[in-house]
């Protein structure tokens, strides 16, 4: 871990890239928490519409969940492989920045 940090500070381009990724994650988290109520309302409307469509087609919810369960297992393997291919250096700064942005927006909103 210490070797990675030493190499990071020796390479200014990598340091700047990670800093920019952190700031992007920070802004994403901050804006996301501000827009959370609108996003939740949008999701609620979409779920209600989907449930009404299922009901109008006469499908049961159990059949639908069973079908999506098969697809979820396929997507899970793909997502795990994609996360490994992208790597922690790409996902780490943005994720940490996102979490910090969410915390800052939540604290500032109170």
The residue ranges of every structural domain in the chain are 2-59+89-109
Beta carbons within 10 angstroms of residue 98's beta carbon: 20
To which residue do tokens 């910090």 refer?
A: 100
- Radius of gyration for the alpha carbons in the chain, expressed in angstroms and rounded: 20
**Residue 39's pLDDT band (boundaries 50, 70, 90)?**
confident
Asked whether residue 29 carries a pLDDT value surpassing 60, the answer given is yes
pLDDT value at residue 82: 65
Condensed to tens digits (0 to 9), the pLDDT of residues 65-100 reads 677 777 777 777 777 776 666 665 566 777 778 888
Whole-model pTM: value is 0.47
Q: At what angle do helices 12-34 and 88-109 cross, to 10 degrees?
A: 40
Q: Measured between alpha carbons, how far apart are the two ends of the chain, in Å?
A: 37
**By the 8 A CB rule, do 97 and 25 touch?**
yes
Sign of the Cα pseudo-torsion (7, 12, 13, 14, in order): positive
């Amino acid at each position: 871990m210490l070797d990675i940090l030493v190499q990071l500070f020796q390479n200014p381009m990598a340091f700047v890239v990670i800093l920019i990724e952190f700031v992007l994650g920070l802004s994403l988290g901050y804006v996301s928490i501000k827009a959370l109520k609108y996003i939740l309302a949008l999701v609620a409307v979409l779920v209600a519409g989907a449930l009404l469509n299922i009901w109008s087609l006469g499908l049961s919810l159990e059949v639908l969940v069973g079908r999506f369960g098969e697809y979820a297992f396929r997507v899970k393997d793909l997502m795990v492989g994609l996360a490994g291919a992208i790597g922690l250096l790409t996902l780490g700064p943005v994720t940490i920045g996102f979490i910090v942005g969410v915390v800052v927006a939540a604290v500032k909103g109170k």
